[in-house]
Structure 1
């Protein structure tokens, strides 16, 4: 059994005026944790994470996996949306990841990611960890470790990267729901930083930038040592959402997958 991971973190978005600060640390933190658990880890950081490079790296991660292998894909960066062109989205929008060169090469659509993941062979376990997105409000949790100052949403509106004549008629905020249309099997899991109507927040702790979801996911993994994904999610929810970090972490997968041992 082989364990492989791809960790992507993008702070730098040339031409958008919407740079982030904690995504590179997120990717490096996930890579370090996964490496310590015996994973072979590849990373794409900032300018490395072009649209072409992301597509190629995801393809390599998936196509090289065989029955019994575990693959993990983590993404920290902006999410965005475009108008759905093939009628497969109820809300009329294709959600997307934002590569470093989104201003010149465009977004990586959920349809394209779905096609990449659908090439996965039988018996391959897939875990996706997404720390990006949209906004709501709930009061609870514990954000006492959060630094003063305002967190920033990890959402890139179309008008920040599209040309004026290409903008959708109703350019409005959306979430990153890339996994919603991906074929799932009994061993597939998604851990997401927020609900579909919320943002994931880019902020800092003890002077070090991080995504709130990534920070608390790793904090609870190391300190609470949950044995299953279901337990891990419950521990993260003790910290999020809060007034300053109004995001509700999500877990998607079958009951069997939720009860699997973490990163096994």
Structure 2
């Protein structure tokens, strides 16, 4: 059984005035953690993470996997959306990841990712960890580790990267779907930094930039040593949401997948 991973972290978004600070650290931290668990890891950082490079790397991750293999894809960067053109989104918009060259090449849509993920061989387990996107509020949790200063949302509004006159219409009410291609049976799991209507926050801990979700996910993994994904998610929820970090981490997958041993 092979274990392979792709870790993407993008701080630099040329032409948008919306740079982040913790995403490259996130990707490096996930990479180190996964390598320690026996994964062969590929990373794409900042200018390496063009849209074409992201498509190619996700495609290779999927193409080379065989039945019984586990693949992990982590993404830290901005999320965005465009108007849905094929009618498959109840809220009228396609959610997307933001590559380094989004102002030139455009976003990587959930529809595009669905096509790539659907090419997997049967029996390949997929874990997707997304530390990006959308807004809400709640006051609880523990943010004592958080550095002073205001966190920044990992959301890139369409007007930040689209040309005037091409902006999409306002979304319709309804449930959003950040990432397509997750199978409803088997071992597929999505760990997300927030609800679809919330933001994931880019901030700092001990003078080092990180995404809040990534920081607490890795802190609890080391500190609590949870055995299953459900237990890991519950540990993260002790810290998030909090007063200064109003994001509610999510876990999606079958009951059996959520009860699997982590990274196996």
TM-score over 0.5 for the pair: yes
CA contact (8 A) 1:159 1:167 kept: yes
| TM-score using structure 2 length | 0.97
**How many correspondences in the alignment?**
263
Unaligned runs of 5+ in 1: none
CA distance in 2, matches of 1:52, 1:138: 38
RMSD: 1.5
Q: Which residue of 1 aligns with 2:223?
A: 223
Q: CA deviation at 1:81?
A: 0.3
CA distance in 2, matches of 1:99, 1:184: 27
Q: Which residue of 2 aligns with 1:7?
A: 7
What are the equivalent positions in structure 2 for 1:116-131 lying under 5 Å apart? 116-131=116-131
CA distance in 1, matches of 2:14, 2:219: 31
What are the equivalent positions in structure 2 for 1:185-264 lying under 5 Å apart? 185-264=185-264
Q: CA deviation at 1:176?
A: 7.7
Q: CA deviation at 1:196?
A: 1.2
CA distance in 2, matches of 1:227, 1:259: 8
SS in structure 2 at match of 1:60: helix
SS in structure 2 at match of 1:87: coil
CA contact (8 A) 1:147 1:205 kept: yes
Q: Which residue of 2 aligns with 1:135?
A: 135
SS in structure 2 at match of 1:28: helix
Q: Which residue of 2 aligns with 1:60?
A: 60
Q: Which residue of 1 aligns with 2:70?
A: 70
SS in structure 1 at match of 2:220: helix
CA deviation digits over 1:72-101, x for unaligned, max 9? 000000000000010000000000000000
CA contact (8 A) 1:175 1:199 kept: no
| Alpha-carbon spacing, 1:198–1:175, altered in 2? closer, same or farther (3 Å) | farther
| TM-score using structure 1 length | 0.97
| Alpha-carbon spacing, 1:104–1:176, altered in 2? closer, same or farther (3 Å) | farther
SS in structure 1 at match of 2:31: helix
